[in-house]
A and B are shown apart, each in its own frame.
Chain A
Amino acid sequence: MNWAGWSDFWAMGGYGLYVWGSYGATLLCIAGELWLLRRSRRETLRRLERMNRFDTQG
């Protein structure tokens, strides 16, 4: 184990801002990409469903 405790871990030997700024940005970006992905897939499915309804009606 490298860390004496949680506060040690978050502090990262003084480099906390930089280490967590990096990992935090990564987490944000990945979450963002996954969210955008879900949204685009849902939109496409909704559009297809609408088209299908239109076709079967007409």
Chain B
Amino acid sequence: MLSFVCTIVRREILLAARRRGDWLTAQFFFVIVASLFPLGIGAEPETLRAIGPGVVWVAALLAALLSLDRLFADDHRDGALEPLMLAPYPHALLAFGKALAHWIVSGLPLIVIAPVLGLQFDLPPEALLALIASLALGTPILSLLGGIGAALTLGLRGGGVLLALLILPFYVPVLIFGTGAVGGVLAGTGAEANLSLMGALLALTLPLAPWACAQALNVSLE
């Protein structure tokens, strides 16, 4: 089973590597979105520090959504999805592999870039650390939940926008705990509470989301 997951992950990374342009675009999107807010709101240091965690997190949400609608759709169009579904492994494993791959390709870069953006918002080092930790725990959740949306909207006209509409409400707790962790450090109350809640959310999502995603794939492909 492990080799199956590894195969999926390796394949996704290879495909992403071949389309480096797409991948880079998504990262720049993350940076641009985050940079828009100071331009729109104002660049006083206190304002920046107040909005910083939220802005970076919202930008991360949107960046994660960018590549989600292609999660299954590309394979489906090429006809590569059916063989994957027919493989002698539970579909939930396929879903998990895809989510893991999405996280490696889209989530990890966010975690790396975020501290740089955090500096733009004048966040102190402890806050940056909390930002990284919250993203490290949160971006897997984004990938896992996003997979469900991608499976439900497979091949539909609405595409990415519909996916965003469906999934964003479910992203709200992740957003709240993520920004809460950084905010806690800035306010002096610490990040442990929010990070623990985020961790609990991840622990819940990890087994349940791939299963729901698999069900959604079955519904979409009947």
Let me know if chains A and B touch directly in the complex, using CB atoms closer than 8 Å.
no
Point out residues on A near B: beta carbons under 8 Å: none
